[in-house]
Amino acid sequence: MSERLVIAGGGTGGHLYPGIAVADYVKQFGVETYFIVSKRGLERKVLEPLGYPFYEQSETPLNGVNVFRKVKSMFLLMKEIAKVYTRIKKGDKLLLTGGFVSAAAALVGSMKGVEMYLHEQNSVMGLTNRKFAGGCEKVFLSFPDTKMVAGKTMVTGNPVRAEFQGIEPKETMEKNVLILGGSQGSRFVNNQVAEAAQSMIDAGFTIRHQTGGKLLDETLDKYKELDVELSDKLTVSGYIDDVAENLKWADIVIARSGSGTVFEVTNSKRLALYIPFAQAADDHQLYNAKFAEDKGVAKVLEEKDVKPESLIGMVKSFSLNYEVYKSSLEKVEIYDSVKLIAGGMNIG
């Protein structure tokens, strides 16, 4: 009978993609992987083409803002525990990747006495992970200086898929700028980039702007309002199907600083200008970004300091000083995260 790994987490791609990277890696050892994920829609779209079996859980956030929502959350959680109970079997290994989806799986895992592990993507441990870390065999950390940590920890980095590995820094600066909005996008970043775009183009840069699907039309309207024309120097899209290929094209990335983005860009040996989301829980995006900045491969621009002029200035600085930054890119430590996590779970 083959070994089975259950990966529970979701709500965002940041919780899902590290689990997929681990699942892809452990296949070679004959391990079957089953996912417990969110019903939000991203998970089904991503997992179905990959052929992984999964169960979609209803939303049961644990941090309701009032008594009614907390009671409702607990009621939904009880319902999900009953459903998840039949999907986790004795002898399974359970990897929690955070988000509200982890809660029911963690409670069932505790009841059934399965081996539980946890991966924290961000530089500040999330609420759900803090609740369950103490009951895990190991807690895998993306960042060495993760705050609010509980449990027996091991630093592994954040797993990225194989296509983001083995990429080398570019020999010369080609002045290609990639704006990564992710699935949701950021209206703030989109508008600031639109205002800076013409000056970047005039300075010889080529821009690929991925806005997030729901924000595509309004971003195109913004460019039109600013009289900035789309051309071979400026392309705008809602989604990018192959992020890794676009990172290979890019010299400089402008993005929010979710952990997945930081590790994908760093693994791809590309420079980044991070604009942390100011309302992120416990300011974790700021700490994520500073991790890369401290390695000399990124700059951090807080929302309060963002102006078109500051974006242009930093992009030009990357270009002018590329030889210095290239040296840092060549030296940056890349974790073999999937191997470390698999080993930490005694797989392989």
Specify whether 179 is located in the same domain as 205: yes
The structure's pTM equals 0.91
pLDDT score of 250: 99
Q: What distance lies between CA 24 and its chain's CA centroid? A: 17
The answer to whether residue 276 is domain-embedded is: yes
Specify whether 172 is located in the same domain as 189: yes
Specify whether 223 is located in the same domain as 151: no
Distance (Å, rounded) from C-alpha 334 to C-alpha 297?
A: 12
pLDDT score of 242: 92
The answer to whether residue 337 is domain-embedded is: no
Look at residues 126, 75, 77, 123 and name the one whose alpha carbon lies nearest to residue 263. 123
The arithmetic mean of pLDDT across residues 294-304, rounded, is 98
Specify whether 121 is located in the same domain as 183: no
Look at residues 46, 36, 49 and name the one whose alpha carbon lies nearest to residue 239. 46
Range of the domain at 141: 4-155
Specify whether 149 is located in the same domain as 92: yes
Domains of the chain: total: 2
Specify whether 130 is located in the same domain as 242: no
Kindly report, residue by residue over 110-133, the tens digit of the pLDDT: 999 999 999 999 999 988 889 999
pLDDT score of 190: 98
Specify whether 174 is located in the same domain as 319: yes
The arithmetic mean of pLDDT across residues 44-72, rounded, is 80
- Radius of gyration over alpha carbons of the chain, in Å? 21
Specify whether 119 is located in the same domain as 199: no
Distance (Å, rounded) from C-alpha 43 to C-alpha 26?
A: 20
The answer to whether residue 339 is domain-embedded is: no
Q: What is the mean pLDDT of the chain?
A: 93
pLDDT score of 60: 57
Domain-ending residue, one of 138, 155, 172: 155
The answer to whether residue 254 is domain-embedded is: yes
Specify whether 198 is located in the same domain as 303: yes
HEC readout, the chain: CCCEEEEEECCCHHHHHHHHHHHHHHHHHCCEEEEEEECCCHHHHHHHHHCCCEEEECCCCCCCCCHHHHHHHHHHHHHHHHHHHCCCCCCCEEEEEECCHHHHHHHHHHHHCCEEEEEECCCECCHHHHHHHHHCCEEEECCCCCECCCCCEEECCCCCCHHHCCCCCCCCCCCEEEEECCCCCCHHHHHHHHHHHHHHHHCCCEEEEECCHHHHHHHHHHHHHCCCCCECCEEEECCCCCHHHHHHHCCEEEECCCHHHHHHHHHCCCEEEECCCCCCHHHHHHHHHHHHHHCCCEEECCHHHCCHHHHHHHHHHHHHCHHHHHHHHHHCCCCCHHHHHHHHCCCC
pLDDT score of 309: 96
pLDDT score of 59: 64
Token pair belonging to 260: 């997945």
Look at residues 133, 119, 151 and name the one whose alpha carbon lies nearest to residue 263. 119
Domain-ending residue, one of 126, 155, 184: 155
Question: Does residue 64 have a pLDDT over 60?
Answer: no
Distance (Å, rounded) from C-alpha 18 to C-alpha 142?
A: 10
pLDDT score of 291: 96
| pLDDT category of residue 262 using cuts at 50, 70 and 90 | very high
Look at residues 55, 64, 57 and name the one whose alpha carbon lies nearest to residue 11. 57
Domain containing 68 — which CATH number? 3.40.50.2000
The label of the residue with tokens 């959350």 reads: 73
The answer to whether residue 338 is domain-embedded is: no
Question: Does residue 46 have a pLDDT over 80?
Answer: yes
| pLDDT category of residue 203 using cuts at 50, 70 and 90 | very high
Specify whether 171 is located in the same domain as 320: yes
The answer to whether residue 31 is domain-embedded is: yes
| pLDDT category of residue 12 using cuts at 50, 70 and 90 | confident
The answer to whether residue 340 is domain-embedded is: no
Specify whether 199 is located in the same domain as 315: yes
Specify whether 150 is located in the same domain as 169: no
pLDDT score of 226: 98
**Angle ∠(330,335,336) on CA atoms, nearest 5:** 120
Domain-ending residue, one of 133, 155, 177: 155
Kindly report, residue by residue over 134-151, the tens digit of the pLDDT: 999 999 999 999 988 878
How many percent of the chain have pLDDT more than 90?
A: 80
Query: At how many degrees (to 10) do helices 187-202 and 216-225 cross?
Result: 40
pLDDT score of 293: 98
The answer to whether residue 347 is domain-embedded is: no
